[in-house]
Structure 1
């Protein structure tokens, strides 16, 4: 009898409270690394039809919605194919103008703060580590693998209402809003990535457990 009570409880927690996600790419290094497992808060932004598996919440838009903040690390459904999950960082809010100029993020024609922070070992070679500070004060690390990469200089992106612009923290190795992801509709947000709880490859994660959009120390 206990087993039958447990499965509905687990399903309810996964659907409406917290869902575990595994990281299988390097697009969010150094914040999230391959093999990481994270908890995503489902209630952080309210609920949409993508919040609950098997289309069991067939609603339009969001209910009990709350607006994400710039700097939040979010899980979302890939707009061209909602069967695919992505985790990246929101840098552009509705109405913002976003552009990359010589590898520096510009928001509304103003360069964000960017400081050199040493090096980071990525795929057995050193990569430039930088501390980026977004408007509002959220600070986090980003990687710069090479100068003049394809995403270092972009056109201006005008973020439409009801959409968000996301970037991977691994700026030269991320498929994000600069490329095929495009703008992310509010409806496609699954939740906010709030905590790391394991790394399957044995990589230390204890210093990166809390993911509240602030600097990873």
Structure 2
């Protein structure tokens, strides 16, 4: 469901009702005559929808985490806020950038439209920037030939399944974050799709090596062996970017998680 489009249609309809009522219909009504209910309600909802549409389109947008691909950073059920202006001001609905503000950086947690089905929103961590050579071989990440440092920490206990996963702290750019790597899971990438710039990637029994095309990004989930990401379906075009995730504002199952992500 394209909520932005639905909100835009409601904005246009209520805006028309408000305009007609304010400048035409109101003048033609007799003293004490009440406006039709559909005019009254439509016009009264217009300012509210305008504010919501403006905030959601240009400032922040709420999202709910639907899967475990970003564990341990983000859990299923986390409600997060996404900055809509960090990577530039974009026209709502069409998502066309009109004002350049900034670019995604390695380590950012980014929300974007799934390249395979743009009606779906995905969230992953930015690993490769345009022009980068990204290697993920034998579960070791390298960028432009340099090994990305990761240090093992305490095992992570999955709260819903009651089992432990090996946990590491990895540093991408200026961002240190936790990742999960299952030692028993195979290193090779299975079920690879035929995506644009597929020729930029080489797959082996040990993993994948890709050169990120201009205007695109390579993203991965923090739950490395339970994430369908750029290794499977390819690069994220700049035109698909929604914004930068920065804050957990609610979780029904664990109130302590509020504000734990930035």
Fold match (TM-score > 0.5): yes
- Give runs of aligned pairs for residues 43-192 of structure 1, distance below 5 A: 43-48=85-90, 52-53=92-93, 55=94, 59=96, 62-65=97-100, 66-122=102-158, 123-134=161-172, 136-149=173-186, 150-151=188-189, 153-180=206-233, 182-192=234-244
Listed one character per residue, the Cα deviations across residues 14-35 of structure 1 (whole Å, up to 9, x for unaligned) are 1111000000100000000000
Matched residue SS, 1:63: strand
Higher strand residue share: 1
Q: Is the 8 A contact 2:83 2:245 kept in 1?
A: yes
Q: Distance in 2 between matches of 1:23 and 1:16?
A: 21
Unaligned stretches of 5+ in structure 1?
Answer: 212-217
Higher helix residue share: 2
Q: Distance in 1 between matches of 2:135 and 2:152?
A: 20
Listed one character per residue, the Cα deviations across residues 82-141 of structure 1 (whole Å, up to 9, x for unaligned) are 00100000010011001112211111121100100111112210001100012x331100
Q: Distance in 1 between matches of 2:256 and 2:225?
A: 23
Q: Confirm whether residue 205 of structure 1 aligns to residue 261 of structure 2.
A: no
Q: Confirm whether residue 194 of structure 1 aligns to residue 242 of structure 2.
A: no
Q: Is the 8 A contact 2:82 2:111 kept in 1?
A: yes
Taking structure 2 as the reference length, what is the TM-score of the superposition? 0.72
The offset of 1:147, in angstroms, is: 3.4
Q: Distance in 2 between matches of 1:43 and 1:11?
A: 14
Match of 1:39 in 2: 81
Q: Confirm whether residue 29 of structure 1 aligns to residue 71 of structure 2.
A: yes
Listed one character per residue, the Cα deviations across residues 1-59 of structure 1 (whole Å, up to 9, x for unaligned) are 7643222101110111100000010000000000000000001111345xx24x4x6x4
Unaligned stretches of 5+ in structure 2?
Answer: 1-42, 190-204
Q: Which has the larger radius of gyration?
A: 2
Higher mean alpha-carbon deviation, 94-103 vs 140-149, is at: 140-149
The offset of 1:200, in angstroms, is: 2.7
Higher mean alpha-carbon deviation, 169-178 vs 114-123, is at: 114-123
Q: Which has the higher contact order (CA 8 A, sep 6+)?
A: 1
Q: Is the 8 A contact 1:99 1:153 kept in 2?
A: no
